[in-house]
A and B are shown apart, each in its own frame.
Chain A
Amino acid sequence: MSSLRGSAWRSKLPAPLVIPAVLAALASLAPLAYLVDVAFDRGAVYLWDELWQRRTLELVVRSGLLAACVTGASVVISVPLAWAVMRSDLRGRRWWRIALALPLAIPSYLAAFAWISWESSLAGFWGAFLVLTAVSYPYVYLPLTAAFGRLDQSLDEIATIHGKGSVPRLIVLAARQCRGTIAAGSLLIALYVLSDFGAVATMRYDAFTWVIYGAYRAGFNPTRAAVLAVVLVLIALVLVTAEAVARGRVVSTMTTRAVTKPRPIRLRSLAVWFHAVIVTVVGLAVLFPIWRIIVWVSAHGAEDGLGDVASALWGSVRYSLVAACITVLVALPIGLLVARYRTRTSLLLDRATYITHALPGIVVAISMVFIGVRFLRPVYLESPLLVLAYVALFLPVAVGGVRSSAEQIPLGLDDVARSLGSGPMSVIRRVNLPLIAPGIASATALVTLAAMKELPVTMLLRPTGTETLATRLWTHTSVSDYAAAGPYALAIIIFVAIPTAVATLER
């Protein structure tokens, strides 16, 4: 169809955007580059020896096993439950749909604290498995509810006509149609598990992030920490790339024609079982941690006093807010260029920020420590370095937010504005920025919350004497002083988890 809308821009990129965008992208890749440099510090032979050890292989196996088990369990939970809340006549399915997404808002170290403070024998693989499954299954569950909602019900009807309309068969049918979505979500979960620090650290499970932290902590062997971090990043890069491919396939096969609103499938006697499973999942993943924390606080009171909690909260809010504002500011040129222009430069920028998705918090933290000690001594363990690390870590989140809201503006609006006499920068100021203002606000909120619940970067880079909710909780948990940790956990629930849940569900 002949139209001015949707046709790709091929004009030159405005330099006032390109220069800061390229600088930001390069800066966000700097930690990675420096990490590689440190890994090669003692030469390739040393690196090879360090890699080619039995304990390295064991580490890969342990981390891989955890990632595989968590991913598998998450798929097994998510497929039937997402199907039940989207396609069946399950009573209360609208509420269940939301309740099942809530674990996304709970930081892994918080859930881990709740479990380990209840039963210390959970430490190790099973504790990490339980906690990580509980907090990460929504990465499959959420996209799957969206995908199931778009499915054409006529296939269900055809299956039923041919006598293949039992509930398990219909679930399998729906899942097979959404293979791509399940694959993309599974890869995200695997990435989440490999990047997670809080749960494996609390459960003392020797996965990559915990061992990297240990190697760094021991202090004598930065090269080993760097080498392991590079290996972790390489594995993460494979996952990120595979996820992008899987997601690309999903988008291209998505049906664009209008689909009639499906008629819910009757569960009859099976409804009881679905209710039981949903209650168990929500109970384990959401209610139990909250209940445990409330119990601790009410039984032991606030050992640290309200003042300590308030000052930790202030520490969290202050750095997170500053970091969020800077991150979004830095993300703005990249997001606008990627969304509004299709050129080689903008595609390259897109790829570059995508790669930073693969950088786990502990890796960013360690490389920032190296950079701080080596080049930025004056700000090492000062607030600028912490904020810089947050910016590097959360840049992809902010770029994603800016980009998705900028992509919703029809390109035709830019064309019209140009024809009415606006230059490229004036179009951005008068048309694009006002229209993405809500997107900018929500990206800032999301980054603030993400920074508030961040653990490894905060722990390693916080200015001397500064405490945040996350670091306090971690410090007390790591010495099994659960009573002292309780109030901080409660504050994280109130000031981080609940707002995150609200912000996520609104989107």
Chain B
Amino acid sequence: MNTTPILRLTDVSKSFDSTAVLSGVSFDAPRGSVTAVLGPSGQGKTTLLRLIAGFERVGDGRIEIDGEVVGSSDVHVRPDRRGVGIVPQEGALFPHLDVAGNVGYGLPKGSRDRIDEMIHLVGLSGMSSRRPSEISGGQQQRVALARALAPAPHLVLLDEPFSALDAGLRAGIRDEVIGILRGAGTTTLLVTHDQEEAMSIADHVVVLLGGVVAQQGAPTDIYERPASVEVARFIGDANLLSARADGGSVGHVLGTQECDASPGPATVLVRPEQLSLSSDGVPGVVERRAYYGHDGTIGVRLENGEFVSVRVSVSELAPVGARVGVVMRGRATVFAG
């Protein structure tokens, strides 16, 4: 089997008017994988996508698609010659073409069979002559997907493709779209600011903060072993507590654990679900409570003045002002400094 990654970025940088948007971005998207680029708004995600698609020129570094350099400081393959499919936010269907016309846009004339096959693949058989304005948002998104897949691209880029959909439909359409992409064996790069979305569907997550790759790896790695305090804060709810390392162990308000961190001040990350209430725990006072239906969280001011968020079952949701004890399970993640 061919093991060259479909997409390889090596030290890619880009500035606009001397403001650096991306610096030294490197990652691979292996053949047939789903990779998510995850980051808050305005951190260079869209620029990255536009560089890969060829809408912008690379400032520095190299982009390779299927082993061929398509973008570097002196190479720029035009977007129409890259074989990269795009599914933009809100679909961006051609309003003057019907469903079949949209799906067939990138195909040579007379590709009726391929169009039908694609429309069938995304479950819209019988809708070929509908106009984009006559179908629902979710259906538009599926047409956009069929359109991107029809010319059999090396790579499909999804730009926040689900954020415009109603919250109620989002998860269903998302799973369906990713299912189709996986079924077709396509390599997929998804850009999103929604960490839950990235974690739940991607094989590989690239966290982009401030134009640099803050961490990349499997979703579980990133959640359980964040590389920095910033990543920890961005991915999931995080309790960050001050701690002190003394060579062999690290101590903080909720306990002590073995650790080879060099002696000195440190910060530890404890997820809310690692904490629970117990009468013999570290004492504190409930300052906040939030009820989510299936469970809830309470915010506890511990005796040393630090504040932690504790995930609890509904029956444990103590009222504000109540005195509780907090205990920790498992290991905390330790950051020096």
Contacts and interface: CB of A to CB of B under 8 A. Distances in A.
Interface string B173-199: 000000000000000000111000000
A2 B191 contact: yes
B80 A419 contact: yes
23 contacts: A2-B45, A3-B46, A3-B160, A4-B55, A4-B92, A5-B88, A5-B90, A412-B89, A413-B94, A415-B50, A415-B53, A415-B86, A416-B86, A416-B88, A416-B92, A416-B94, A417-B94, A419-B106, A420-B106, A420-B148, A423-B80, A431-B96, A435-B96
Contacts of B55: 4, 7, 9, 11, 415, 418
A270 interface: no
B91 to A, nearest CB: 9
A410 B41 CA distance: 20
Interface of A: 1-5, 7, 9-11, 410, 412-413, 415-423, 426, 430-431, 434-435
A421 B151 contact: yes
B299 interface: no
B78 interface: yes
A431 B106 CA distance: 12
A452 to B, nearest CB: 31
Which of B78, B81, B147: most chain A Cβ within 10 A? B78
Contact of A434 (B80, B89, B96, B160): B96
Contacts of A417: 94, 105
Contacts of A416: 86, 88, 92, 94, 144, 147
B86 A419 contact: yes
A415 B51 CA distance: 12
A7 B96 CA distance: 22
Contacts of A418: 53-55, 78-80
Contact of A2 (B46, B95, B96, B144): B46
B211 interface: no
A419 B84 contact: yes
A429 B280 CA distance: 75
Nearest to B49: A4
Nearest to A417: B105
B82 A419 contact: yes
Nearest to B47: A7
Interface residues of B, number: 36
A51 B145 CA distance: 68
A40 B159 CA distance: 59
Given A3-B159, A4-B46, A4-B49, A420 B92 contact: no
B85 interface: yes
A426 B78 CA distance: 13
Contacts of B81: 421
Given A418-B55, A419-B53, A419-B79, A3 B151 contact: no
Nearest to A11: B55
B28 interface: no
B287 interface: no
A7 B46 contact: yes
B41 A2 contact: yes
Interface in B137-161: 144, 147-148, 151, 159-160
B106 A421 contact: yes
B182 to A, nearest CB: 21
Contacts of B193: 1-2
B164 to A, nearest CB: 9
A9 B49 CA distance: 14
B56 interface: yes
A4 B96 contact: no
Contacts of A419: 53-54, 79-80, 82, 84-86, 106, 148
A277 to B, nearest CB: 43
Contacts of B85: 419-420
Interface in B48-66: 49-50, 53-56
A316 to B, nearest CB: 34
Nearest to A422: B80
Given A2-B49, A4-B86, A412-B92, 10 more contacts: A2-B46, A2-B160, A3-B88, A7-B50, A415-B88, A417-B94, A419-B54, A419-B79, A419-B106, A423-B80
Contacts of A412: 88-89, 92
Contacts of A7: 46, 50, 55
Contacts of B144: 416
B156 to A, nearest CB: 10
Contacts of B92: 4-5, 410, 412-413, 415-416
Contacts of A420: 80, 85, 105-106, 147-148, 151
A428 to B, nearest CB: 13
A426 B94 CA distance: 14
Contact of B95 (A421, A426, A435): A435
A10 B56 contact: yes
A423 B88 contact: no
Nearest to B53: A419
Given A2-B46, A4-B89, A415 B160 contact: no
Interface string B215-247: 000000000000000000000000000000000
A415 B79 contact: yes
B84 to A, nearest CB: 6
Contacts of B84: 419
A420 to B, nearest CB: 3
A420 B296 CA distance: 47
Contacts of B50: 4, 7, 415
A158 B190 CA distance: 48
Contacts of B160: 1-3
A2 B147 CA distance: 21
